[in-house]
Structure formats: structure tokens, C-alpha cells
Structure 1
Amino acid sequence: MKDIGSLDLGGNFHGSLIGMILDAGFMVKFVLLLLLVFSVVSWAIIFLKYKYYRNVKKENESFNADYLKSSKLSDVSSAAKKYTYSTTAEVFRVGYGELTKINKVFKEPSSNEEVGFSSLDNVERSLNKACNSEMTKLERALSFLATTGSASPFIGLFGTVWGIMDTFKGIGARGSATLAVVAPGISEALIATAAGLAAAIPAVIFYNYFLNRAKIMVQEMDNFSAEFLNIVERYLVRK
């Protein structure tokens, strides 16, 4: 009498994850490959954005320290040149550049009060443009994380549904519905759902994390812009 552990259940079931992937149908494999691409690109974005945000935060803190301890805007302008990642430093560079142009206008004999108020509007528009430009940099590639987080579970579910359809087709062809026939196909199909969740969960977590960090940095830029505008307005009043 044969040992029960040596009985052939009539299926090609492999207990290992790799074995189940290899035994999966073409569509399930295609879905898994697509999810792998989504996951790899998402993790690449996560690592790059994390490094970028860390550099931005570090340089913003350093620039703010230089800004607070400086008594002249020209000194701040010199210090701002060494910061390549700082968002507030870029806003300052744009604002200071516009202020330099205003100063040249006021040195002309034809300058008047209307020119002063018009110049203030020019500075404000320049600061807004710089803030929007930096915000675009901060949010760049985050849309892919959002897409991965929202679409991957459904892509995985599609692979699972397709795999289950193939399983039932196999049941119909064999004319039997034993556990040995059903279990391999179902387990292989469910891998797609698991892969979809594995790709989506990190993408959603880091998307929300980066979005929150971006909002904080945008608020810092807005606050700095308002403070810089106050300086410009006081300068124009003295003129």
C-alpha cells in the first residue's frame, strides 16, 4: 500500500512562489510583469524624491540661518548662490533680481510714484512665478506614485479574475472539480492581487508623505515671499 504522502493529486501545483508564477497563464504573467515595472519605477521615484526632499530641507534650514544673520540683502544674495536645492533661496534670488531692476529704474530721472507701485506688482508676480516653479519641481513624478497606488490593485484584480477564468475553463475540460484541480489555478491567480497590493501600498504611503512635505515647503516659500514683499514695500516707501 502506498504512503499517503506519495499520492499524485493530479495537478502541477508547486508550493513555492516562483513555481506558481512559472505555472501561471500568459495573461497572469503579463499582469505580474506590468506590476513589476510599476513597482520598480515607484521605488526608484521614492528613493530619488526622498533624497531630493532631504537636500531641500537641509539647504532651506541653512539658507534661513544665513538670511536671519545677514544685515544686507546683498550678503544674502551672495550666500544664496551656493544653494542649489533650496526652494526659499531660489525664491529670494528671483525676488532680489527683480528688486535690482527696480533700483535701476529709480535711478532714472523719469521715475515716479506710479513706477514704484508698478514695480511692487512686478516683484510679487516674480515671486509667485518662482514659487509655482519650485512647487512643480517638488511635485514632479508624484503623479506616477498616485497612479500606481490607485491602478495597481485593479490591475492585479484583473489578473486574478483572468486566472480564475482559466481555472474554471480547465475544470470544464477535465470534467472534475477536485481540490487538486482547483487549488493550483486559484493560488496562481491570487498572486496577481497580492502583487498589485504590494506595488500599491508603498506608492500610496510615500505619495502622501511627499505631498505633505511639499505642502510644508510651499507654505515656507509663501511665508518667505510675504516677508520679502514687506521689505520691498518699505524700500519703495523710502524712495
Structure 2
Amino acid sequence: MEAETLALAQEMDFSLWALFARATPIVKLVMSLLVLSSFWAWAIIIQKQITYRAARAASAAFDRAFWSGEPLDGLFEEIGPTPAGSSEKIFAAGMVEWRRSHRTDGGLIAGAQARIDRSMDVAIAKEAETLQKGLPVLATVGSTAPFVGLFGTVWGIMHAFIGIAEQQNTNLAVVAPGIAEALLATGLGLLAAIPAVIFYNKLSADSDRILGGYEAFADEFATILSRQLDS
């Protein structure tokens, strides 16, 4: 009897596709959702890595131009009021408000410094929204995927025990397939969650560093304009 049971178990296909194909519709739905969530998370991770690398390169290039000694008005004329780079947008927001704060007689309207600061703060907030877009999805996948997988496992094990009760047979050939199918759901949940959590933390830290650079630049630029206001 044991030899026959072992032979039956060895004949069964335990590949991932076979486990998925033998699973119940609910478990199949859970597995499909987890696979889609994993692909979605990796798409966000790759896109954010590209975006952050481009943002750092653009900021470095603009910093070199800003500190090259070129007059601010000349630099603003080169990039225009609606540039593409994030640092350039912050600079442009400050320069636009700086120019709007001048009266026709050449004097400055009261409260110019505060308006310039607010304009750059608004520009930074818009860039922060762009940089952090998609990160909540990674957080959601990282926090919920293990529980979704666990639900699939519980459902699969319940179905396996129902099959055991119906067949009144607890040999390996009956028990193993159902348990393996159920555990696959948990494995897929962890496969989706672990990279999502790791890269959420990494990308959040990268985003904070980039935004910190923008805020530092805005402070330095505001200091330069305040000197001109005082003079």
C-alpha cells in the first residue's frame, strides 16, 4: 500500500503551472491577483528608478549652471518660465514672482520675499507629488499581499480537507496536491510583498533626499534674492 501511494505521488505533476491548474477557482483568482500585483509593483519600481536617476542628473546639471556665475536674469531667459527640469521649475517659479513683484517704476511691491518663498514652496510640493506617485501602491502591495496569499492558502487547505473527508483517504497522493496548491498562494503573496516593501523603503528615502535637495536649493536661491531686496 505504501509503495502504491508513493508511486502515485511520484507520478503527479508538482510544477507551478500544474499546481495552478489544479487549484480551485477562488485560489486561482487569488494567485492571479498576486501575480498581477507583483508585475504592477515591479513596473512602478523600474519606472521610479529611471525617474529618480533622471531627476538627480537634471538637478546636478542645473546646479552647475546656476553656480556658474551667469546672471540670474540671463539664466531665466535661457530656460524660460515653463522649463522641464524640477530644479528649473523651482527656479522659474521664484524668478516669475520676483519679476511680478516689481512695479512699473522699478520699485518692489511689499511682501515680495514671502510671495517668492510661497511660489517656490508650491513648485516643490508639485514635484513631491510627482516623485511620490506610485509609492502608495508599493506600500499597499507590501502590506496586503501576504494576507491575500494567506486567504488563498486557508481556502485551499479547507478544500483539501473537504476532499479528504469525501474520499475518506489520508494517503500522500490525496493530501499532498491540495496542500501544495494552497501553500503556493502564500508563496506568491510573499513573492509580491517582499520586493514591494524593500523598494518602498528605498524609493521613499531616495524621494526624501531629492526633495531635500530641492528645498536646499530654494533656501539658497531665496537668500540670494533677499540680499538683492535688501540692497
Partner of 1:108: 105
Q: 1:154 and 1:34 mapped to 2: Cα distance? A: 12
Partner of 1:35: 34
Partner of 1:160: 153
The one-letter code matched in structure 2 to 1:67 is F
5 Å-filtered alignment, 1:1-239, equals 4=3, 9=8, 13-81=12-80, 84=84, 86-103=85-102, 105=103, 107-108=104-105, 115-116=109-110, 118-238=111-231
Task: Tell me by how many angstroms 1:5 deviates.
Answer: 7.8
| Cα offsets for 1:169-202 (capped at 9, x unmatched) | 1111111222221111000100000101111111
Contact 1:77/1:96 (CA < 8 Å) preserved in 2?
A: yes
Q: 1:226 and 1:157 mapped to 2: Cα distance? A: 49
Contact 2:9/2:172 (CA < 8 Å) preserved in 1?
A: no
Secondary structure at 2:101's aligned position in 1?
helix
Contact 1:156/1:194 (CA < 8 Å) preserved in 2?
A: yes
Contact 1:167/1:186 (CA < 8 Å) preserved in 2?
A: yes
Q: 1:37 and 1:70 mapped to 2: Cα distance? A: 51
| Cα offsets for 1:78-110 (capped at 9, x unmatched) | 4445962x322111011111111113x2x438x
| Cα offsets for 1:21-69 (capped at 9, x unmatched) | 1111111100011111111111111121111111111111101011110
The one-letter code matched in structure 2 to 1:159 is G
Task: Classify 1:7/1:183 alpha carbon distance in 2 versus 1 (closer, same or farther; 3 Å).
Answer: closer
Contact 2:145/2:189 (CA < 8 Å) preserved in 1?
A: yes
Unaligned segments of structure 1, at least 5 residues: none
TM-score by length of 2: 0.91
- Number of residue-to-residue matches in the alignment: 229
